Structure formats: C-alpha cells, structure tokens
Amino acid sequence: MGGSTTIALDFGKVEVNGRHVYLFGTPGQERFEFARQIIGTGMDGAILLTDATSPVDEFVRHLYDSLAGENIPFVVMINKCEEAGAQPDLIRKHLAGAPVHTISAKDYRKAFDALCTFVATLPMGHGYVHHDLS
C-alpha cells in the first residue's frame, strides 16, 4: 500500500483447508507495543514476520522472546527472501527455536503454503471467541 506504515492493524481473512483463518497484522514499530498487546490478546497462534535483508536486532529479539513466551503455537516467517541482499540463514541462526519458513510477499504460493503448514499445527475448534458481556 504505497509505503504506508501500519499504525492500527491490518486485517485479512483466508480459508485454509476449509478453516477460516483471521489474520491480524500488528504495527511493527517499537512505539506501538501497546497496540501489539491489545491486538494479540486471545490469539490462537502467532507469526513473527521478519525481514531477510535486516539483521536480527534487539527489537526483533524482544518480539521473538515475548511470542515464544506465550503459550500458543508460534512460527517465524522470514520475508523478502527473493531480494539480492537477503540473508535468511543468518536470521534463522539468530532465531533458533521456533519453526522457520522462508517466504516472499511477492511469491503468494510459497507464503500461502507456509501459512497452511502453520495452520495445520493449530488445534481445531478455535478461531472465534465469544465475549459474554452480560
């Protein structure tokens, strides 16, 4: 979307092997920690989308550690892997522990396959949270 930064959330809905998957993209900038906390409440799984052309810095490490500390399925997807300067192996080395997929937003099929693999690890019967306000 023309170089715009996420300040609230990105939302997407896809069907994966007959399951409805709701994707909530949080802002990536450090100052939006509060938004990540709110959006992440009640999530069934977490995907850390990292940039293969940027080194793992303290902030990415912080995101990794907080998601790994949640009691939910968690995966790392290394994006921009088609770029000439991409170093997915370096990122993979620094984020060892969680399952890792190398993807590119420019390769829909590969990214979707990675999502399918992750969704298959999620327990059934989730995906919709009923908030009882009474």
User: Which of residues 107 and 126 has its CB atom nearest to ligand GTP in the complex?
Assistant: 107
83 touches ligand GTP by CB under 6 A: yes
CA 57 to chain centre: 17
CB of 105 to Mg ion, least distance (A): 11
User: Which of residues 113 and 126 has its CB atom nearest to ligand GTP in the complex?
Assistant: 113
6 touches Mg ion by CB under 5 A: yes
SS3 content of the chain, % helix, strand, coil (to 5): 30, 20, 50
Out of Mg ion, ligand GTP, none, which partner does residue 20 contact, by CB within 5 to 8 A per kind? Answer: none
Out of Mg ion, ligand GTP, none, which partner does residue 83 contact, by CB within 5 to 8 A per kind? Answer: ligand GTP
Closest by Cα among 95, 92, 103, 107 to 67: 95
User: Which of residues 24 and 93 has its CB atom nearest to Mg ion in the complex?
Assistant: 24
Binding test (CB under 6 A) with ligand GTP, winner from 3, 18, 123, 125: 3
Residues paired with 15 in a beta bridge: 20
CA distance 13 to 81: 24
Contacts of 17 (CB under 8 A, 6+ apart): 116, 119, 120
Interacting span for ligand GTP (CB under 6 A) from 12-20, 78-86, 90-98, 124-132? 78-86
Cα-based distances in Å from 23 to 39, 42, 90 = 11, 13, 27
Residues forming the site for Mg ion (CB under 5 A): 6
